Structure 1
Amino acid sequence: MGLHKIIKILALILSVVGIIFFVMILSAGDAAIEAGESAGSVNGALYTSYIILGLVLAFVLVFVLKGVFAGDIKKTLITVGAFLAIAIIGYVMSSGSLEGLPEELIITENVTETTSKWVGAGLNTFYILGVLAIGAMILSGLKRVTK
């Protein structure tokens, strides 16, 4: 049996389990969930999600590494380097300022300037990558139109 069939069967099984827990949660109602009476179905749904997330990450890692070693390693390293450069630019652009945050958030969540800087770096990196993706789509559309 091929890997594709195994993945499809595993996805089907996990989907059915997720649907079962979803129905159990819906049938319990909000009051039962808030009271903690249906913790088993909520926990089951969470564990199912954790399993799915773990499997997805494992498969992505395996197939990415497989693709890296099968393809051109130079292009892969250039792409990874470009991503790291964008992440560094995002980090440098972030301020790390706590100004504007509610005082209770700073105290209860233990938000420091370092935490704020890393969150800002992640947001800046996301924005830069988003702008680059939109620009690439526009350029490819323009090239297609001009041909």
Structure 2
Amino acid sequence: MNTEVEKNPRPESTGEQSEVVQPPVDAGQPTPDVSRESAIPTAELSAQEKQDIGGIREQTRAGFGALYEILPHDGKIEEDQVTRAMKTVESLANLTPVPRHEVTAAIIRLELYQKPKEEFINELAKLPMVDLWIHMQGLNRAGDRRLEETQRGIAA
């Protein structure tokens, strides 16, 4: 078990240092309040929100699979090639600029287009901005559903 010891000068002292022991962080092991697919806390999410996030995650993974099929798998690949291909895949067409750039950069930098399809999908799905985008889309979908239910209740 690794603990991190950090020496911080105490502002009220005359140069003495104190040790601050940070609790160990078990990277890769989600806590009960963190989803297994990401590091984003999920304790406060409703079952419907979690289901909507899972649905977006599956659609996005399927989109990455479709993107893999479109891209060439040998030689060099250009950024604009990846961007154009992403825009043709329905489930990836709505990616906002930051996750789109992160996906493009990862495909090129890690040469994911030359890797097996499953590795391509897994590596892209775990990118931090993609994960955040998935969560935001899932929460938006859940919010839209609640709004529709409220509007139906008012109309009734």
Higher relative contact order (CA 8 A, sep 6+): 2
Larger Rg: 1
Structure with bigger helix share is 1
